[in-house]
Structures are given as C-alpha cells and as structure tokens.
Structure 1
Amino acid sequence: MSAGNINSLLEIWAADLARYKASPPFRTQADLYRSIDDTPLGGVKWESFTVSYGGPRPDDDVPTWMTDKHSIFFRNPLEIVHGMLSNPDFKDEIDYAPLRVYGPDGKCRLQNFMSGEWAWRQANIISQKVSCTDTSFVPIILGSDKTTVSVATGQNEYWPLYCSIGNVHNNVRRAHRNAVEVVAFLAIPKTNKKHADDANFRKFRRQLFHTSLSRILSPLRPYMEDPEVVRCGDGHFRKVVYGIGPYIADYPEQALLACTVQGWCPVCANPKDDLDADGALQCTREHTKFLVCEFELGDLWHSYGVVGDVVPFTNDFPRADIHHLISPDILHQLIKGTFKDHLVTWVEQALKIEHAIDGLVSADIVRAIRAFLEFCYLVRRDVHMEDSITEVQEALNSFHQYRKIFLTLEVRQDFSLPRQHSLVHYVDKIWEFAAPNGLCSSITESKHIKAVKEPWRRSNRYEALEQMLMTNQPLGKLAAARVDFKERGMLDATLFKVEKKAPEHQYGRTVEQIADVFAIPSLQQLIRCFLYHQLHPAEGLSGASIPLDRCPPFDNKGLLSVYHSASATFYARSDPCGTGGMHREIIRATPKWRTGAARFDCVFVNRRNNAHGLLGMEVGRIRLFFRIHHEGRQYSCAVVHWFHRTGDEPDEDTGMWVVQPRFVGNPRKRSPLLSVIHLNTIVRAAHLIGVSIDKPVPDGLESRGALDHFPSFFVNKYIDHHAFELLHTSVSR
C-alpha cells in the first residue's frame, strides 16, 4: 500500500478514536515502518557484492558484458536457516535426524524428506567424525528459477534463489508457511545479439552463476564439517551440521547446475541421441573430474555432454555432488514438459496424419496417455511404499511400450527428450529423497508471487530491485512477529462469523409443491422409504425394497427446506490443499445456475464396504437437496438419480470405470431410478465424461447438456489427486 493511503487510513482511525480521547498506535506511515523495523524478529538484512569479468579483452570493440559490474543481492543463509530451525510454528512438523518408517506390514514408508536414503547416508558419513557425535543433520534445499514480471514494458527478468531445510515436513514446505525463503537475487548478464553466442560470454555467464552460489552459501561452509549449537523451535538447543541438499530447478537450470550440455541428462551418462538406453551409468563428481583431466574441451562437449571449463559450485562444499542432488520436478518435467509440450502436440499431429476424417485416435495413443497420467498421479502421492513404487515403475513401463505408436505414425523419430527421459530416474529419486511433492518447482513458482511479482508491482519500476528488497524486509519481520505472537497466545481471541446457508423459499415448503417444481412426482414415497431405512438401520434393508405401507407416514403437511448446494469436506492427503490435507468442495443442485440453465451435479455415494474403487461406491446425480423434521429429529437429505456400473473392472484402454444412468419402466415410458439418501453418505463430487465411440460429439453440445445426451459415461479418475486415489486400480490388481 502506498504511503499516502496508509496515512489516510491512520487519519480515519484517529478521527474515529478522538471521541474516546484516544489515538491510534501509529501517527504516520513513517511511524508504522519504524515500529516494524525495530522488530527484533525475522527480517535478515540484505547485503550485496559485485562480480565482473577478469579475463582477456579485445583491443577494440569491447563488449559491454566485459566491462559491466554485476550486483548480487543476498541475505546470510546461516541466519535464515537459524530462523527456520527456531520457528515454533514448525516444532511439531520437523525431523532433526534421518529416520526409517515402517507400516504395519513391515514395509518401508517414504514420505517426508528425512525418511529417504540420501539423508541416511549423509548422517552416516557425518557421524564418523568424533566432534559430530549426537549431531542433527540439516540439509539445505535450494531452488532457483528465472521469472518475468512484465512483458510489454521491456521484459523485466529476475532470478531469485530460494532456500529451505529438509527437516521440515513436505506439507509445511508446500503450504507457504515461511519454510521457503528468498535468499538472493542472482545477476543476469546481458549483451547484444552480436555477442550472445560468443563462447567467452557463455562461459562467463555459467561461471558467474556458480561463483555467486558459492559466495552466497559460504557462511554455511564452516558448519558442514564441525557442528554449531542452535536453538530450535521446541526450545531445546541442538548441535547441527549442514549439508548441501537437493536443488529444485527446471531442465535448463539443471543443465547449468551440472555443467551439462543442453540435450544431455544431468543425472546419467547416456548419450544425447539415445537417452533411454538400458544400463545407464550414474554421473558423479569423480567421473566428471576424470573426464575433464583426460579429454579436450571439444571432446567433452560433443562426446560426453560435459562443459569442461566451468566448475560447479558444489565442488566448494563437502559431501556435495550436483549430479546426485538434482531433484525430480513434477511441474516442468511431467505436466508442462511430457504432457503439455510432448503428448498434447503429438496427439494433434497424429490426428492430422491418421484420422483427419473421423476424428478418432488409436487405442495405443489412449493407453499411452492413460499410463502417463497414472504415472503422474502415482509419483504425486504424499506417501510412497514398496507397492506404490512398483506401480510407478509398471506405469512407466506401460508408457514406454505404448508411446511407440508415435514412432509408427512417424510423429516422432526418437524419444531422446531430456524432460521425458527424466521419468526413468523417478523411482531412484523417490528412494533417495522420499515423496517428490516436497521438492517440486511448483513450490518456488508460487513463492515468486510474494517474493518477486507483488513487490515489483509495489515499486515505481525504476531500479526496482532495491525497492523490492525493502518490501521483502518488513514482510519477513511481520511474518516472524505473527508466529511469535501466536506462540505467546496473543492471537487466540480472534473472532470470526460463520455464515450459515439459508434455505430457498421460492419453491414453497410442502412436498407437493417441491415435487412439482423439481419434477419428482414420487418424492413423498421416496421420503417415506428413506425414513424407514433411518429408523431401522439394523435390518440392513433398503427402504425401496419393502412395501410402502410399512414405511413411516410423511404427509403433505411435513415441511421441507430446499437448498441449492451442499459442501463436502474430505481428507485429500496428496492434494496441495494445506498442511492438514483437508479439502472442501461445493456440490450444486439448482434449477437455474447463475441465471442460466439448471445444474445438477454428480456424486460418489458410500456403500459402506471395504471394496476397492467403484466397487465400494455408487455414482448418483443429485436432483434435490432438502432438510426435513420427523419425530423430533432433523435429516439432511438428497434425492439422487442412480447410475450403474457396466462391469466389474475399469475400461481396459482408459483405466476409467464406465457407468450408465438407471431407469425403471418400459423403454417407451421409462422414469429415472431415484432414492432419498442422507447427506453423510455422500463422499464427494464425481466428474463424468460422455462416452462417444465411433460417433463425433455434436458441435452445438454444451457442458450443461452433456449428462442428458450420452447413454454412458467414463467416471473421471484423472480430475484430481483425490479422485485418482478413490478410483485407481493398480496394474497388478
């Protein structure tokens, strides 16, 4: 907020308090900022250093990049890590040592970072030193990603470097709770088109990156071999030893980090033109050093994909091998890379080549996309066990088998694509670093908003970086102060108002009126059957299976309250929806949605059994939400139109269950099969996709009419992570 607006608000506040002969805590915006600056918590100060080119220069026409001084702004990473370790907000969601977790079946569970094999090996190495006995290991997780804050006004780019610690749980790192902090803004050297491809400029740009990282992280270096004592969030003091941990980056930065030529893999030594060859060797720091000593720079570049004249920053730190520290990146490797840039483009090309007339795709294309989507959702799981890792490998094997159709159709000549090749390393990375969702670049991408984009918008756009740093500084102090206030119990009395949903009265209140508006002539009978089931649950009978005269009476005097929506709250542990894993969605049933057509959503209904997938649930379409009172009790209900499964297994090609709406009566005069159910039997909303085999979808069909158009539907398990967990059937099942 601008200084003028802050002053205006403070004046309004002062005028309101004047009648009480009181004054606000701050007189002006300057007074407010002084109070924030005086806060002793958080807000590690920004520092800077400059780097310039020191090599040989031409006699004339010296490019500007050789004479420029490149400023790198940074904060002391040691102080930032101290703040994270001492943060009481993390005290119940942090591991101070590597651990191995086993389920009731005795199988290993991989969830948070410290449960992976890499942290365990590092701790074993550290423990061999006498001074490091009884020491906690703190992995320093880094991430960087260039971001553009404006396009029309000159493409202003910034290169933030982020820092976290591997000890905090993955859900904390994903939930924007100050477990990821911006530690630096790296320099972006620029030159004109004439010198952009100059080998010296490219070398300088790479070495500038690595030199900057080494300089920024140097305060941590003394405590990577000998421990320091720090205060932790639970109030205890611990000896800690630091180590360079995984680095979160997209493929271009992975290549830059590993000093790898673009097009080669930064993790394994497979050749550029055959990335998925069997028997790939792991790249290592020692192997790269050997190659650099034995071969010329040209041979290193063309035959081994090694940039031999640049030293990785990890060489300046103990136990750090950049090839081992490249983290899996679900966002750029799977979603943006393999799915968006590769598969979607390939399918479009295949349609033009093979099916330009009827618009169909071959079964192998469908199976390839199915296998890849299953791979995506499986690796995105919050917890991995031996069985799920086996499923990941099976899905990858299926994807590699069925993607050959794109070679057959001559859409591709090979699959030597670095981002797609990265899939073969995911199983190893899960064992090394546990669940990949704690190291995804979506974490740093989302951090761009608060650390870069919003501060830039608050600036005057002229030499904006220093203004952005001054914005980040007080925000860090406020965040730290809020955690401290909460820990002291100063925020427990916060008041909030809960808005209750109001019933819709425009349809009347009687059964007859509502049955007429919603076209449910049997509503009264359905309610009576429902009440029998509620009053006699031990019989295990559906109300619809007994004579109506045995059901409790519910005449036209029984009043109904109609609602247009209901909320479903469920545990979605693999969704990025907060640290608790709880998710909330709205299910709607209304004759007029946003002044338009009717909207009646579909849902999953629990069958109260332990069967897997859709065998343990039913699919229904909500026709009405309502509430009734009967014999002093209140019931929240829904009228559903039932669907039935067409088989006991999902569709072979898509992996999705197929359902059809159920009707009663003869084909000429049939009516939907309806029931009244209690709301507590609804699991969540269901997403159905119309099955259109050998027939094109009508051009004029809108989404609001899809559920009434198709005779059968796929139950979409790929709509989100929770739906996948509910409906997925493993390959081996």
Structure 2
Amino acid sequence: MAREEEDLLLPEESADLLQELEEENDLFHFVRVEKEPEIGEAGPGPGTLAQRNALLERQLGAKLRTFDDTEEVEKVIEENEEAGHIIRMDHSLEARWRLAHNLDVDHPMDGSSSLPDKAFAPFASEMDWRIAEWVVKDGIGHKSFDRLLAIPGVKEKLPRAGEWKTRKLRFKDDESSNDFILRHRDILECVQSLWGDPALADHLVYKPKKIFQDAGKTKRVYSEMWEGKWWQFTQDLLPKGSTVAPLIIATDKTQLTQFSGSKQAYPVYLTLGNIPKALRRKPSQQVCILLAYLPVDKMPKDGLPKRELSSRYQRLFHEAMRLIFSPLREAGRKGVEMVGGDGAVRLVHPILASYVADFPEQCLVTCSKYGTCPKCRVAAAELSSSSSFPRRTKDWTLQVMEEARRSSSSDAQYFAYCMRKEVSGYTFRPFWDDLPFTDIHFSITPDVLHQLYQGVLKHLISWCQDILGSSELDRRIPSLPPSFGVRHFKNGISALSQISGTERKNMGKILLGCLVGSDMPRDALTAVRSILDFLYLAQYSTHDDDTLSYMADALNLWHAKKSSFVDLAVHDDLNIPKFHTLQHYVEMIRFFGCTDNYNTEMFERLHIDYAKKGWRASNKREEFPQMTKWLVRQENIQSFNKELSWVIEQQRLQLLQKKQDSIPVSTPPSTTTLLLPKEPTAPSKALSLIESGHRVPMFASNLRRYLAMLKPGSSRAEVEGGLVKSLPFNALDVYYSFKFSPETLDDDSSIKDVVKATPLKGGRFDTVVILTGDSAETASFTGTRIGRVKVIFHLPSQLTLIGTYKSPSPSWWPTSVLAYVEWYSAPSQTPLEQKSHNMTTVHKLPLIEGITPWSIVPLSNIRQSCMLMPRYDKQNLDRATWTSSNVLDKATHFLVNNWSSLYTYKTLYKD
C-alpha cells in the first residue's frame, strides 16, 4: 500500500475540538467559526495527548482549518474633496412627511413599530390602508380601484408618482403620416425622486474615489462607478463643489404577447451611478425608474422605399429621445439644486454616463453603420484584427454628418456618403448632439448578456458542434453528474430552440469539459478556453490592475489561436462585431467600473414589473394609457409604504437616542459560514440504513475507528485492531444537504453554495473541495483535496447504555456536524494540459481493505462544492449504462470543472 493512500485512513494533522452549532429559531441555523477549538479534552498527561495527536495527524482533513490571510493588506482610499459639497440643509421633506402623517416635530414615541391611526391619513386607520394596498397589489379591477379613489380625500392626499406626459410626433415632410405617441416623464423629476429618497440617503455616493490594493498605490481597484476614471475626469470639468449624477439609461424593446400577436413595448429605464450596484441589481429596492414608453406603432408604408422606411424608424427614435433628454441640456451644463433624503442640498449635474443596450440598438443610438463597432473606427473587414483603432467621438460623427449634408443634394446622396464613412445614413440629427459632457460613443458600455453569452458563446458552441458533430456533444452532456448551479441537459443541446441567456450560461459551464479528449485540435480547444477565461473574468464584481491584465492575456491568447476555426472551415472569417467588442472591455471597466454596473440582464428583469404586468392588467385595447395608470398606482403604494417605513424608523431612532447611554449597540459577528436545516432530515437513522442507502458499507466500522482515534491514551495498534468493538448507539441524526456562504475574493456574502448527500431519487452525493492543509489559499488548490460527501451526520449527545438509562456522550466526541467523505487523488495537471484547457485531473484511488479511502471531517472544512466531469479520453463512454446519477460511480478519471460557477472559477482557476 502506497504511503499516500495509507495516510488517508488515519488523521494527518493534530485535530482540535470542533465548535458547536448555534441554534436559531427559524428553519435554518447558522454555524459561526470564530476560533479553533480542540477536539475532545486533554488526556491524562502530555505523553498520552501527544500520542493521540500523532494518530489524528494522519487522517486527511480532520483538523478545523481556515484560509491563510497573511497577505491581506488594508486598502488605500483617496476621495475627491472638491466634489459633492453641501450648499445648505433643507428639511422640508421631513416636515412635509410629518405633516402628511399628522406627526408633530416632538411627536411622542412609545418605542413600538406600530403607528397611531392618524399617521395613515388620508386613510382612517391602518386597516383601511392595508385594504387599499391589497386592492392595488393583488390586481383588483380598475373600476374597483376607481371607487376606492372616490372616497373623499384619498385621491388628493395619496402620494403621487411622477406625472406622465403624452407627446405626439409627426414627420414634417409628410402631412398624411399618422401621429406617433411618446409617453414619458420629466427626467429631472425622476432624478430628483431617486436623489431625495430617504431610504437611499445613507447609500448615495457624491464623490469620486480612487481605491488601491496596496500602500504604494500601484494597484488600483475598480468596482463601483464612482471608482472608475470617467467620474473623476468629468468632475474636473465642473465647478468646485459640484456633484455629478451619472445617469445610466437603458432601452430595450420587449414582447408583451406570449404566444400570438405582436404587441410590443419600448421602455426607457433610468437609474443613477451614485447608488451602489448591490441595490441597483435588486428590483425590490425600486431604484430603477421607468422613464418613458417610446412609440412602437407600425410605420405606414404608403409606397415608401425600404431605405426611407428604415430612416423614419430611426429618426422617430432620435426625436423621441431628444424630447426626453431636453431638460438635461441646461441642467447638465449649469447644474440644478437637489435635496437629498437627508436634507442636504447640493448643486447636481445630471449627465448621461452609461447607455445600456444590445448591439443593434447600440448602432441605432450612436448612428453607427450596422455591423461596425459603435466605439471605434475599425472597418467592417478588419473587425477580427487585434490592433487598436481611432475612437469614434461625438464630434467626429457630427462632422461626418455635416460633410454629408454639404456635399449632398438628396437623401440618397447623404445616405451613401455617411455609409462610406461607416456612419448611419438614416439619421440627420441625433438626440445627443448637444448633451453636455457626454460622448455617446464612449458612453456605450459592455453588455455581458448579449455580447458574450448570446453572441460570442453562441458562435463558439455552434462551431464546436460543427467540429465534433452535434451527436457527439449530445452523447456526452447527458452523462454529466449533477452539481449545484449547473443545469442538466438530459437530452443534449442540439434540439433546443429559442435559447435564453440563462440556458446559454449553463451551456458555457460544461462546454470545455465536454471538448477535452475529443477530436478538436489543440489550438481550437485553447481558443475556447481563452474565451471562457475572458467571459468569466469580465463578470468579476471587483477588478484590479492584475485581474484586468488577466483579461488582456486571455484576449491575446484568443487572437493567437482563433485562426484554427477558419482553418477548420466552420466560418469564413471572424469579422464579427461581438467578438471585436472584447477589445473595449478592459478600458470600459477602468472608466465605468465593473460590468455588473451596466449589464442589460439587470434591466431585462424590469420588463416584468414595468411592462408585462401592466399589460396583463389592461383590457388589451388602447393599452398604454392603462399601463401608465396601473404603474402610477403601484408607485403610489410603494411611495406610501416608504413614508411609513421612514416614520417607523424615526420612532426607532428617537428611542435609541434616549437610551444610547444605557443600551450599548452591537452588531452580530460576520463569520457565518454554514446553514443547516433546523432539524435533521433523517433523525435517528439506523446505521444499517445509512450503510445501504448512502452506499458506505463500512460506515459503522470506520466510525468506530474514528472515535477510537479520539479517545485519550489510544495507540495506533489499538485503533487498527479495533479498540472500540461496538458503538454505544445504533442510529444517527443525518442531514441530506447544507448551505453555506464560501469565502470569496469579493467578500460577497450573498453567495450561497449547496452540498447534497441524499439517498433519495437514485442518490446524489456531491463532490466538494476540502481544506486539508494550513497553506490553503483562496485562489488555488494548495492545501485542499477533493472528496465526495457520503454522509452528513451528528453524533448523539446522550447515550442509552442500560435499559432506558441515559448518560452524556464522552467528552472527547465532536459536538458539531461531521461529514463522511471518500477521497479522490490529489489534483494534477501536466504542462500541456495547462496550456490547452487548464483543467486539473483527479482519479479514483485504489481500494484499501476493500473500501475507498475515507475521512470524517468537520463540515466547516468544506470550502465549496465542485463539479467533476468524466475524462472521455481516459475511458470509453458507455451511453447505455452511464447516467447522470451513476457516472461518479462508474467513471474513474475526472476533470475538475473550473466553469461550474463564477465563484468556482475565481477560486479554482489558477493561471
């Protein structure tokens, strides 16, 4: 027996006592790990303790471990002190709300969260208000709501959202054309509503910042929009003390009808870069406002040529947007005083910073010729080039249009001249021509959803299917094991149609592993890997100069290997705009922060709340007036709820103010890692059922050996000989799953990983990465090992020894939840594999005494779930017997999937 394999049976490190799980009163409870307690109590003397520790040192993963944080360096933050000055304080909003809710300035607070009935005015009581809220939120008919508004005082005093305006647009050169209806709000009122929201008062950021990872300020960090270079650059153009309000605008046409019909809506969304992106990404926070519905009426053809018809659609778009943005021309240039939710008045310059749209709309907005780059002047025939090209700028585009007008005597000549310059010849005057401090070409930001997933990855998957054959991919994909966060395509992917962005993401997670060991040439495989590297790096929520250099390296590798797809004749050339856009990602992150600030996926989710629900609430005839009316009512309810929340918060703060000298304020520790069901999934499960159902025939025997190791004074010979002949119990409390928040590179506590070890439905026993050494890092396999969780259990705290008499379990037994795991070999990788697919390999270990090498480890040592994909070049895929549920049992060699999630990529991927 090899020494490495023998060491898997007994502890490898001196083990310390595991910490007890804290009990919570909800469905789940949290496990907090704040220090390393010891396993058991000290033995009779130093000699026996050392002997016991020597035994424990040989079982892999037994010691409670954490990541090595020795390299953690405090960040350096530089804030622009010449920005965001407060002009004066204005508490009129607070006074207005107090008056609206009948609360005097010295309103007595009793400390409860309840309010007196008069606070719910114009409603007679809280019950009346809750009924009104129910009427609106539960979709009660318009007529019923109209009767509610007929109650004296309700319509006049209910908080009002921004008023909708209706504008009729008509082409001047065609008196017979129809009117096109634009419905919009005043953009400055919308900005003010966000700026003055008391719920956002403590979250808005008014000054640009520079954040560095090191004291020498050599490694800059980019995450939020105020950390990018654009904000600082724009701030320097404004008077001292001014405040920038970066507007993030998104437009995206959406289908209202699901199965038949062609009803569409064309919403325009607005949010502010001053708001942290964590709030912007949550629709429930209501920090994105529906600014307008653009006209979607069909253009009457009336014998118009195709070019003129296209021109009218584009001119209509720009004219509508011009009306919407007209208030920004003066406000952006001179600034406008705005009152924040905290009462602070600042001189605010609302400036269009980021325009979020898919590629066709990017070309429409920037007046770029379709099929070219809206950000630079690359020719359509050179889109695949890795070279840099001069930027498109607002002045350059307007100059081309002006030259076209001077040299043309007809629309056809104007069109031809502009198209020769790669500028759209359909538009005569863009809406952004006089917007202050805005260059529309620079404001076009990356779009991960449409450019990367629905563009680049879509092409790659199609090309891989052409190279391997769709049937081969469809043969491999159904045999992949289940894993958290990865969709299982039980019938493959070739038969799918109308593929969504989420489905494309899940295809990207498994693509590379299915290509390894296929007939795909090595250069093509490397090219796929480089794109996946770039795609996952582009989604980091925090970047620094190092990670941005990784993106540049991945892109350079793509350019070095991309010709293999042309050589394989899967595509004539790679002059594809969405591939070219990768050239601009790094620059945009440096200027506007990470891509999650402006990804279209965030705004597409809003279609449900701001378009589709309103459509369903209408009678489907003359729907837009009904939709805007429905939306205003929803916003009224939300606004009133915000006011009530504010009033309750004032109560709490006043009570806290009175008691602050006697009641200390503390915050709970932030070390929560594990989330278990409050009660075991299978309480008191017989050991025999565990062995059969969880497929661990030697579980009871191995558990006896483990407990023998813990007993003070035991020797290795006694352990191997079976010091404990039988267990003083015949059942255990077993859990079938647990959740946890892994330690992440960005400290994003919202990430929840799930590990399952259940015998139900054919059985699912997940593979995980486990901390086994003190040198464990957050970005490599160092100090870790991959194992398969077979049982999650809790040792009994009380033992029944004679009859019904119960006694406490031995003091050296662990009191926290444990996991029985079966080990795979240490991850390995050849230099050739690192250069091509860069995925590590593990394999099953030889059986020892007829069983798979095992350990019992603290649950908190599990770092994250991971996905193992069978290596098809090391074994033959037997489609008749390999299934998703048994592939981990039947296959012998596996690849560790770097791509199963963004978190997995960030922690397992090592350049």
Q: Residue 108 of structure 2 aligns with which residue?
A: none
Partner Cα distance (2:148, 2:784) in 1: 57
**Offset of residue 97 of structure 1:** 1.8
Note the aligned Cα RMSD (angstroms). 3.4
**Offset of residue 162 of structure 1:** 0.5
Quick one: which of 688, 699, 718 aligns to 1:523?
699
Q: Residue 706 of structure 1 aligns with which residue?
A: 887
Give deviations 1:339-379, integer Å, cap 9, x for gaps. Answer: 01x11112222235999999632222221111111101111
Q: Residue 725 of structure 1 aligns with which residue?
A: 906
Q: Residue 562 of structure 1 aligns with which residue?
A: 734
Pair 1:346–1:44, CA change in 2 (3 A): same
1:123 aligns with 2:235: yes
Unaligned runs of 5+ in 1: 1-21, 58-65, 128-132
Partner Cα distance (1:616, 1:673) in 2: 18
Give deviations 1:602-634, integer Å, cap 9, x for gaps. Answer: 122123433441223221111111111343663
Quick one: which of 456, 468, 475 aligns to 1:338?
456
Q: Residue 9 of structure 1 aligns with which residue?
A: none
Quick one: which of 358, 380, 390 aligns to 1:272?
380
- Give the count of matched residue pairs: 677
Unaligned runs of 5+ in 2: 1-125, 136-143, 408-413, 476-516, 653-674, 798-808
Q: Residue 325 of structure 2 aligns with which residue?
A: 217
Q: Residue 609 of structure 1 aligns with which residue?
A: 775
Matched residue of 1:273: which SS? Answer: helix
Partner Cα distance (1:355, 1:688) in 2: 19
Pair 1:353–1:52, CA change in 2 (3 A): same
Q: Residue 502 of structure 1 aligns with which residue?
A: 679
Q: Which moved more, 1:599-608 or 1:520-529?
A: 520-529
Contact 2:676 2:739 in 1 (8 A): no
Partner Cα distance (1:518, 1:307) in 2: 65
Pair 1:43–1:527, CA change in 2 (3 A): farther
**Offset of residue 306 of structure 1:** 0.9
Matched residue of 2:816: which SS? Answer: strand
**Offset of residue 649 of structure 1:** 6.5
**Offset of residue 648 of structure 1:** 5.5
Quick one: which of 612, 634, 643 aligns to 2:815?
634
**Offset of residue 475 of structure 1:** 1.8
Contact 1:330 1:440 in 2 (8 A): yes
Matched residue of 2:209: which SS? Answer: coil
Contact 1:530 1:677 in 2 (8 A): no
**Offset of residue 555 of structure 1:** 2.0
Pair 1:276–1:505, CA change in 2 (3 A): closer
Q: Residue 194 of structure 2 aligns with which residue?
A: 84
Q: Residue 403 of structure 2 aligns with which residue?
A: 294
Pair 1:38–1:657, CA change in 2 (3 A): farther
Give deviations 1:517-572, integer Å, cap 9, x for gaps. Answer: 53434434543555577789xx9x9x999945798898232751112222223355
Q: Which moved more, 1:148-157 or 1:27-36?
A: 27-36
Partner Cα distance (1:165, 1:338) in 2: 29
Partner Cα distance (1:676, 1:572) in 2: 25
Partner Cα distance (1:23, 1:110) in 2: 48
Q: Residue 323 of structure 1 aligns with which residue?
A: 441
Q: Which moved more, 1:166-175 or 1:686-695?
A: 686-695
Matched residue of 1:182: which SS? Answer: strand
Pair 1:698–1:271, CA change in 2 (3 A): same
List aligned pairs for 1:128-143, cutoff 5 A.
133-143=240-250
Matched residue of 1:43: which SS? Answer: coil
Matched residue of 2:367: which SS? Answer: coil
Q: Residue 63 of structure 1 aligns with which residue?
A: none
**Offset of residue 479 of structure 1:** 2.6
Q: Residue 17 of structure 1 aligns with which residue?
A: none
Matched residue of 1:425: which SS? Answer: helix
Q: Residue 168 of structure 2 aligns with which residue?
A: 50
Matched residue of 2:256: which SS? Answer: strand
Partner Cα distance (1:544, 1:186) in 2: 78
Partner Cα distance (2:750, 2:587) in 1: 30
Partner Cα distance (1:545, 1:36) in 2: 84
Matched residue of 1:432: which SS? Answer: helix
Contact 2:875 2:893 in 1 (8 A): no
Contact 2:255 2:263 in 1 (8 A): yes
Partner Cα distance (1:207, 1:89) in 2: 39
**Offset of residue 137 of structure 1:** 0.8
Q: Residue 841 of structure 2 aligns with which residue?
A: 658
Contact 1:162 1:181 in 2 (8 A): yes
> Structure 2: which amino acid aligns with 1:631?
P
Matched residue of 2:295: which SS? Answer: coil
Partner Cα distance (1:420, 1:369) in 2: 13
Partner Cα distance (1:450, 1:544) in 2: 65
Matched residue of 1:205: which SS? Answer: helix
Pair 1:627–1:265, CA change in 2 (3 A): same
> Structure 2: which amino acid aligns with 1:589?
A
Quick one: which of 748, 752, 755 aligns to 1:587?
755
**Offset of residue 235 of structure 1:** 3.5
Contact 1:355 1:361 in 2 (8 A): no
The TM-score, its normalising length taken from structure 2, stands at 0.69
Q: Residue 100 of structure 2 aligns with which residue?
A: none
Contact 1:203 1:310 in 2 (8 A): no
Q: Residue 642 of structure 2 aligns with which residue?
A: 483
Partner Cα distance (1:505, 1:368) in 2: 48
Contact 1:259 1:311 in 2 (8 A): no
Q: Residue 72 of structure 1 aligns with which residue?
A: 182
> Structure 1: which amino acid aligns with 2:397?
T
Matched residue of 1:566: which SS? Answer: strand
Q: Which moved more, 1:304-313 or 1:428-437?
A: 304-313
Quick one: which of 308, 316, 323 aligns to 1:208?
316
Greater relative contact order (Cα < 8 A, sep 6+): 2
**Offset of residue 483 of structure 1:** 3.3
Q: Residue 281 of structure 2 aligns with which residue?
A: 174
Partner Cα distance (1:544, 1:678) in 2: 22
Quick one: which of 505, 519, 534 aligns to 1:375?
534
Matched residue of 1:724: which SS? Answer: helix
Percent identical pairs in the alignment equals 23
Partner Cα distance (1:485, 1:573) in 2: 38
**Offset of residue 268 of structure 1:** 0.4
Pair 1:624–1:354, CA change in 2 (3 A): closer
Q: Residue 5 of structure 1 aligns with which residue?
A: none
Q: Residue 145 of structure 1 aligns with which residue?
A: 252
Pair 1:235–1:558, CA change in 2 (3 A): farther
> Structure 1: which amino acid aligns with 2:229?
E
Pair 1:712–1:695, CA change in 2 (3 A): closer
> Structure 2: which amino acid aligns with 1:113?
M
Give deviations 1:430-451, integer Å, cap 9, x for gaps. Answer: 1111111111111111111111
Q: Residue 859 of structure 2 aligns with which residue?
A: 679
> Structure 1: which amino acid aligns with 2:750?
M
> Structure 2: which amino acid aligns with 1:289?
L
**Offset of residue 682 of structure 1:** 1.4
> Structure 2: which amino acid aligns with 1:399?
W
Quick one: which of 509, 516, 521 aligns to 1:362?
521
Pair 1:601–1:54, CA change in 2 (3 A): same
Quick one: which of 335, 350, 371 aligns to 1:242?
350
1:406 aligns with 2:565: yes
Contact 1:485 1:491 in 2 (8 A): no
Q: Residue 824 of structure 2 aligns with which residue?
A: 643
Pair 1:386–1:51, CA change in 2 (3 A): same
**Offset of residue 482 of structure 1:** 3.1
Partner Cα distance (2:466, 2:716) in 1: 52
Contact 1:360 1:694 in 2 (8 A): no
Give deviations 1:130-169, integer Å, cap 9, x for gaps. Answer: xxx3111111111100111215331111100001111112
Pair 1:382–1:102, CA change in 2 (3 A): same
Partner Cα distance (2:770, 2:874) in 1: 31
